[in-house]
Amino acid sequence: MSNIVYLHNDPILMELDSSVDKKAAKKMIAFKYFNGDEMLLNEYLIDNDYSDCNSSYKDFYIEPKSQLEFSF
């Protein structure tokens, strides 16, 4: 059966996905599950093919336009 969908209920990935501040969440998760070692957390995320959803937006910044001013 090739149409089976596997749901991953990994608490680390779920907690990281539901967080707003990814940097702070990574520090907290590293403290909670990996005895404060962020390198182990990064290896764990690489092994699970986790990619930050915020990292894809860095390349698409739009240049701000100057504000229009009215001369009276």
Element (H, E) at 66: none
44 located within any domain: yes
- pLDDT, residue 7, reads 62
pLDDT tens per residue across span 18-56: 888 889 999 999 999 999 999 999 999 998 888 765 544
Q: How many domains does the chain have?
A: 1
Q: Which domain holds residue 42?
A: 11-48
Q: Is the pLDDT of residue 58 over 60?
A: no
Other CB atoms closer than 10 Å to residue 16's CB: what's the count? Answer: 19
pTM: predicted TM-score of the whole model, two decimal places: 0.60
27 located within any domain: yes
d(C-alpha 26, C-alpha 24), whole Å: 5
What is the pLDDT averaged over residues 15-20? Answer: 89
6 located within any domain: no
Distances (CA, A) of 41 to 16, 20, 22, 47: 11, 18, 13, 10
Name the more confident of 57 and 64: 64
55 located within any domain: no
